[in-house]
Amino acid sequence: MDGAVTRPPSRADFRFFLAHKVRYVELDTQGIVFNAHYLTWYDEAVSDYIRAAGWDYQAEVKASGADFHVVRGLVEYKVAIGRAARLEIGARATRIGRSSIAFQPAVFPAGGDSLLATGEIVWVLTDQATRRPTPIPDRLRELLTAFEGRDFTAPG
């Protein structure tokens, strides 16, 4: 998502999905999902994804005094989505840096393979007292490595 040419994600690229049914309130005057709602879906999917990987978000924030801040939110629209559409929002970690994690969300029809939207969410872990970046805990890196079955210490 950083400008490099990559293939669009497929449903098979994701281990985690969040089910969602489009509500009337999420539509714009054209009868399709208003753009800002995609970021809400992405945020919810990414948050549930790291919990599914075993990270107790609230307990970790309380214990460490560090919390994540979104520093990048990107949406790429592929197909317009209308009212009552049943969706599954996939989420996966794509990169873990020193103090940041990049996630790729992707929207598919429930049970379907057609990519409706994708994007990128980047979180930076920040010490809440100083508002300065702080290193990603080894435990979180290990949980995401095990959940995704890939080595996040290797480039790419």
Question: For 94-121, what is each residue's pLDDT tens digit?
Answer: 999 999 999 999 999 999 999 999 999 9
Q: pLDDT class for 152, splitting at 50, 70, 90?
A: confident
| Chain segment 22-57, per-residue pLDDT in tens | 999 999 999 999 999 999 999 999 999 999 999 999
Residue for token digits 């480039």? 155
Question: What CA–CA distance (Å, rounded) separates 19 from 110?
Answer: 7
Q: Which pTM value belongs to this model? A: 0.93
* pLDDT confidence of residue 3: 52
Q: Which of 4-8, 68-72, 86-90, 147-151 has the lowest mean pLDDT?
A: 4-8
Q: Report the half-sphere exposure of 20 (CA within 13 A, side-chain side).
A: 27
Of 10, 7, 15, residue with least CA distance to 93:
15
CA distances from 33 to 25, 50, 104, 106, 121 (A): 9, 26, 20, 15, 19
* Three-class SS state of 82: strand
The pLDDT of 48-67, averaged and rounded, is 97
Q: pLDDT value at position 156?
A: 46
pLDDT of 1 strictly over 60: no
Task: Please tell me the predicted confidence (pLDDT) of residue 4.
Answer: 55
Q: Predicted confidence band at 155 (pLDDT cuts at 50, 70, 90)?
A: low
Task: Work out the number of other CB atoms within 10 angstroms of the CB of residue 107.
Answer: 28
